[in-house]
Structure 1
Amino acid sequence: MARSAAPGSRERILRTAGDLFYRHGVRAVGMNQVIGAAGCGKNLLYTHFPSKDELVAAYLRACRAVRDRDSAAATAGLGGDPAACLRALVAEIAASTTRPDFRGCAFRMYLTEFPEDEGEPARVARDYLRDTRAEIDDLVARLDMPNPEQLADRIWLIVEGLYASAARPDAATASAAATQLVDDLLAAATPR
């Protein structure tokens, strides 16, 4: 008689693999390492995740769920005010990049490791980046000002800079500068 998996085993494996992928990089972590760290058997791992690609895609989807939740929390209660939402989104990213355990954006790190990948993990990562950029573009467009593309490009560049400065000793300085720069850009772009 086949044994059934213990409740929560999929989540435990995913959490363990995600921690390993984030700390060491996806390429550096093998399935045997996940099995050992999660304390599960090979059959259990492959029952939940038939391939490493499926495990990595699940990890990136879990990262996206956290990012989406944090972004929604940052903009909650702002009444849809696009300028306030832009400030809040950048401030939330800035705050996250100063956490002691923050190594960088999981999506950007994956795409840096596997720039030519066209599989499911890359699609998850690219979809997140595309959707995040579209959110910024939409908020800027709702400001109803001239040259919204330029302002959206500048805010996106600030976001990219925040992630690039993560895990550096000066991350807190970059975080403060980024939020101030967004404030300055929005103030300069606001029609008088």
Structure 2
Amino acid sequence: MTQQHLEPPVAAGLPTPVPGRAAKPSMRELILQAAAVLFYAQGIRAVSADKIITKVGITKVTFYRHFPGKDDLVVAYLERRAQSERDAIEGARRSSPGDPAGALRLIAEGIGVESCAPGFRGCPFINAAAEYADAGHPVREVVASHRRWFKATIEQILHEIGVADVSGVADQLVILRDGAMVGGHLGHRGDPQVVARSLVNAGRAVIEYSQAPD
């Protein structure tokens, strides 16, 4: 899910923490943390490599040693966000063993809380797609890959619920999710629980309609 603060270091590739001492983030991680904050708050195109270099307090040589170009950093930023969302959604599924409807409810509640959070600027993947018009660009490929994963995961949950048209219903639920994200970006600031409940009810209506007899 979306976060507006410096995120904790990713464990992979970092030294094993010493008991009683926090692991020191790698330089690559520090660059990614700074980029995550700036890209999300100001927009990807508006943030230059120089701005990130200044924020981290490093030289250009150090920056380009880790990221040969800004697009490489953007791809890494989005892949990091994708993994964060996947972890959150898989966590919701693990929290509801044998209850796929409960997993969907937890996912919707998370989206509701996120879309009402201070500093929320919409879905980082939708934002990135709006800034990169070429569908074949590596940035757009990351966006497309993550959205395919999200839809496939929703399809799996719907299959567990017993929905027949998992693809069609998943498409509608993804649209509901996107609408909540855009609504939050455009200034909707309601009660997270009310927004979550509205999203849950809308999703339930879609599923029930798909299962109604012709």
2:122 aligns to what SS in structure 1? coil
- Tell me the amino acid that sits aligned with residue 150 of structure 2: T
Please give the alpha-carbon distance, in whole angstroms, between the structure 2 residues aligned to 1:126 and 1:169.
26
- CA spacing shift, 1:177–1:7, aligned 2, 3 Å: closer
Partner residue in 2 for 1:99: 117
- CA spacing shift, 1:60–1:147, aligned 2, 3 Å: closer
Deviation at 1:188, TM superposition (A): 5.2
Partner residue in 1 for 2:169: 151
Bigger mean CA deviation after superposition, 15-24 or 134-143:
134-143
Please give the alpha-carbon distance, in whole angstroms, between the structure 1 residues aligned to 2:69 and 2:134.
19
State which of 176, 179, 182 in structure 2 corresponds to 1:164: 182
Deviation at 1:147, TM superposition (A): 3.5
Q: Aligned runs of 1:8-47 on 2, under 5 Å? A: 8-47=26-65
Deviation at 1:55, TM superposition (A): 0.6
Partner residue in 2 for 1:3: none
Q: Kindly indicate whether the alpha-carbon contact (under 8 Å) linking 1:13 and 1:38 is maintained by their aligned counterparts in 2.
A: yes
Please give the alpha-carbon distance, in whole angstroms, between the structure 2 residues aligned to 1:84 and 1:174.
17
Please give the alpha-carbon distance, in whole angstroms, between the structure 1 residues aligned to 2:125 and 2:163.
31
2:47 aligns to what SS in structure 1? coil
Deviation at 1:154, TM superposition (A): 2.3
Q: Aligned runs of 1:2-81 on 2, under 5 Å? A: 8-81=26-99
- CA spacing shift, 1:131–1:7, aligned 2, 3 Å: closer
Structure 2: segments with no counterpart, 5+ residues: 1-23
Bigger mean CA deviation after superposition, 94-103 or 124-133:
94-103
- TM-score, length-normalised on structure 2? 0.78
Q: Deviations over 1:32-76 (max 9, x none)?
A: 111111111101100111111111111111111211122122222
- Tell me the amino acid that sits aligned with residue 48 of structure 2: G
Q: Kindly indicate whether the alpha-carbon contact (under 8 Å) linking 1:71 and 1:92 is maintained by their aligned counterparts in 2.
A: no
Q: Deviations over 1:80-114 (max 9, x none)?
A: 43222222222222221111122111111101111
- Tell me the amino acid that sits aligned with residue 163 of structure 1: M
1:183 aligns to what SS in structure 2? helix
Please give the alpha-carbon distance, in whole angstroms, between the structure 2 residues aligned to 1:53 and 1:161.
27
Structure 1: segments with no counterpart, 5+ residues: 1-5
State which of 150, 172, 182 in structure 1 corresponds to 2:203: 182
Give the total of aligned pairs. 187
Q: Kindly indicate whether the alpha-carbon contact (under 8 Å) linking 1:83 and 1:186 is maintained by their aligned counterparts in 2.
A: no
Q: Aligned runs of 1:103-114 on 2, under 5 Å? A: 103-114=121-132
Deviation at 1:77, TM superposition (A): 2.4
- CA spacing shift, 1:46–1:145, aligned 2, 3 Å: closer
Q: Kindly indicate whether the alpha-carbon contact (under 8 Å) linking 2:115 and 2:185 is maintained by their aligned counterparts in 1.
A: yes
Deviation at 1:25, TM superposition (A): 1.1
Q: Please, what is the CA RMSD of the aligned residues?
A: 2.3
- CA spacing shift, 1:190–1:122, aligned 2, 3 Å: same
